[in-house]
Amino acid sequence: MPLKPVKVASIARNGYKKFVMPCKRLTFQYCNWGGSSAGMRDFISTHLKSFAAENPSTHFQIIRKKGHPIIKGEYINGREKVICTRNMNTREILQKANLLKASSGEKLSRSSIKRPVKSLNPSVRGIWSPLHATLQRPIYKL
Amino acid sequence: MIPSILRPYRSVGSGSIRVLRSRTLGTRNNSSGSKQPAVPEEVAAKNAELRVLRARLELSDSFPLSLLSTALNTPTSRNEYMKNTDLQRAGRRLLDYRISEYITCKYPRLPTEAVKSASLAFGGEDTLTNIGTIWGIEAERSSGPIPYVEHGVENLGKLRYVPREIKVTRRVVKIQPDTSKGSSFKEAMSSAVEAVFGAVLMTEGPNYAIDLVDGHVLSRRVDFSALFQFSSPSRELHRLCVREGFVEPEYRLLAESGRHTVAPSFVVGAYSGPDKIGEGYGTSKQEARSRAAVNALKAWYLYSPKPVNYPSDGYKGEEYKGVYIDAGQIVV
């Protein structure tokens, strides 16, 4: 056969045409007794309902467990991010919850912060080639 | 007395379409004669994950959650609710239709083998599994070799299936009673994604469903130029030029560097008369020549008309102008 098919994979481009929230679940864990959970208990009873209503694309879970309170975010790339919210007040907890909600789930690295946009497309201009450069400009005889 | 959760649902909502749906999709007789009821809407409405899935797919608030729950119930699952077989079949047909229409209209000269691998790249099992993961669909915890059926609300928003694999832990080998009945995670997940598309097609109509396929499936990036390889490119290019009535191709050396060194490089152009139809580089003139032929052939095969018309534009009330139909692949 002169032409051989090659198996290729398709790459998701979330945000092109349709956007699906990368944060699929937020878990709020608190302790009913511990003093470090006081802010979290307050947050769950006062702020969480409206916060969940504002974010219908994220699944909210509450877990009662002894220890310091945490917020855990689960993402579509399979990663998890956990923030410990001990001794935080409701305003600080809301800030952390927003941080986890808005995250893409990618690991924070130097390159992801410095160059957050990665293009899948090849350069329109092409790569400079010395062989072609001589073709385009006049060649001077010495 | 049957618990209320297992009772087949008769009518949900007030619209006539919904009542019709509950008759056609609500109960299904299988071969053994027992009925498989759909999840009652009022029970499915209590499930947070189904609501989240509906919001993530940007479906309207009136979209029935029981139908979404049915879409996640794959044929191998052990519960007594209706399985996603019908929805999956409808969704598969929709995906096949839209994907093949998109490829053949956008790249009308693409060879048949390349069309097949492009269809797999868009709608194959791996891709659909990835789409399901992005949507946030998760498998239920009780999906395992040990039959553990839970009729609670919490599992209605999960992917329900029985894995085919026999799990071998350190010393214990858990053998499933009937291995032919299980399915792999990818099979289950892709059938659920197909069923969701089917459910949207049935409920919201073809326009909305096609938009959803465009947004989640056809928006993915597929490198069409990487879909095929040529075993004799210069011969094929020659045949193409003869068939189309072009001047026979000629290869001219455009630039070179370091011919007598260990790292020579050549740039060769493929010409048909005065027109340059392709260009290639290589460490030998022969290599550069075949790259130039491949470049010219790919430019031919990857022709795309602008604007692209699709037959499904007819659903949107737009005038259908017909599509470009090519003479076909080159026979070498």
- pLDDT for res A114: 87
Tens-digit pLDDT profile for residues A69-92: 999 999 999 999 999 999 999 999
Contact yes or no for A24 and B127 at CB 8 A: no
DSSP B254: E
Mean pLDDT of A48-67: 95
Tell me the three state secondary structure of residue B113.
helix
The whole-model pTM stands at: 0.85
Q: Report residue A53 as tokens.
A: 């209503």
Chain A CB contacts of B63 under 8 Å are none
User: Residue B52's pLDDT is what?
Assistant: 97
Are B128 and B189 in contact, with CB atoms under 8 Å apart? yes
Contact B161, B143 (CB under 8 A): yes
Nearest to A102 by CA among A94, A111, A114: A94
pLDDT at res. A88: 97
Q: Where are the beta strands (DSSP E) in chain A?
A: 3-5, 23-30, 59-64, 70-75, 80-84
- CB atoms under 10 Å from CB of B203, counted, come to 20
Distance of CA A7 to the CA centre of its chain: 29
Q: Which residues pair with B250 in a beta bridge?
A: B271
User: Which positions 64-83 of A are in contact with B (Cβ < 8 Å)?
Assistant: 76, 78
Q: Look at chain B and count its residues.
A: 332
In a domain, A57, yes or no: yes
In 3-state terms, what secondary structure has residue B198? helix
Kindly state whether residue A52 falls inside one of the protein's structural domains. Answer: yes
* Nearest chain B alpha carbon to A52: B52
ipTM of the complex as predicted: 0.90
Domain residue limits at A62: 30-105
Residue A133 in domain: no
Distance CA B80, CA B86 (A): 16
User: In degrees, to the nearest 5, what angle opens at C-alpha B304 toward C-alphas A120 and B211?
Assistant: 70
Domain count, chain A: 1
Q: B271-298 burial by CB neighbour count: b if 16+ within 10 A, else e?
A: bbeeeebbbbbbeeeeebbbbbbbbbbb
- Determine contact: A17 vs chain B, CB below 8 A: yes
Contact B134 A2 (CB under 8 A): no
- Domain with residue A90: its CATH number is 3.40.30.10
Q: Average the pLDDT over A57-75 and give the result.
A: 96
- 3.30.160.20, 3.40.50.10310, 3.40.1260.10, 3.20.80.10: CATH of B228-301: 3.30.160.20
Q: Is A57 an 8 Å CB contact of chain B?
A: yes
Domain segments of chain B: what residues?
Answer: 4-225, 228-301
A82 domain-assigned: yes
SS3 call for B315: helix
Domain presence at residue A5? no
Chain A residues in contact with B212 (beta carbon < 8 A): 18
Mean pLDDT by 10 residues, chain B (332 residues): 38 35 41 69 91 96 95 88 94 96 94 93 96 94 49 79 69 58 88 98 94 96 92 94 95 92 95 94 96 96 90 79 80 76
Domain B4-225: give its CATH code.
1.10.1520.10
Tracing tokens 């809407």 back to the chain, one arrives at B41
Any idea what the Cα angle at residue B237 is, between residues A132 and A3, rounded to 5°?
A: 110
B199: left (phi over 0), alpha (psi -120 to 50) or beta: alpha
Number of inter-chain CB pairs under 8 A, A vs B: 115
If one compares A113 and B261, the residue with the highest pLDDT of the two is B261
Residue A131 belongs to some domain of the structure:
no
